[in-house]
Amino acid sequence: MAKQQSVSVATLKTITDAFNAHDLDAIMAFFADDCSLDLPRGPDPWGRRFTGKAAVREGLATRFKGLPDVHYSDDRHWVSGNMGVSEWLLTGTTPDGVPVRVRGCDHWEFRDGKVIRKDSYWKIVEKPT
């Protein structure tokens, strides 16, 4: 039986660095072939779900297209067993010039050191009336 690789806070920080570099190849190196991604927005209660490595890559590419200068900062991470959480401040600008600044988090699930599930959440920011 293969030894289970441990997941650490350093792993989550390295994944965040890859996201901030907009390096899809580096990001996808962390994901298992049978992974899934749940984005915060979408038609279902879980948002929009992508299943399988190719679909997850496509889903992440939409994030970079929708927020070309997206950046995750003010981050903190923790791990318990095969689960991890990353909290962050997401900033960026839409292609239409609308600034985005929102707190959020990712729930991560790992198997044998690879991401099998990334579930993202964002706060709903409302404009003052």
* pLDDT tens-digit readout, 2-61: 445 579 999 999 999 999 999 999 999 999 999 999 999 999 999 999 999 999 999 999
Listed in sequence order, the residues at least 6 apart from 5 whose beta carbon sits closer than 8 Å to its beta carbon are 112, 113
Tell me whether residue 128 is in a domain. Answer: no
Asked whether residue 2 is domain-assigned, the answer is: no
Q: How confident is the model at residue 64 (pLDDT cuts 50, 70, 90)?
A: very high
Report if residue 129 sits inside a domain: no
- Show the domain range for 51: 9-122
Segments of 31-70 assigned E as strands: 31-44, 47-51
Residue 112 falls inside a structural domain: yes
Q: Would you state the structure tokens that stand for residue 111, as one six-digit string?
A: 């198997």
Note the pTM of the prediction, 2 decimals.
0.90
| Counted domains in the chain | 1
Per-residue pLDDT at 103: 98
The domain that holds 23 is classified in CATH as 3.10.450.50
Q: Does 127 fall in a domain? A: no
Q: Nearest 5°: CA angle at 105, between 110 and 50?
A: 60
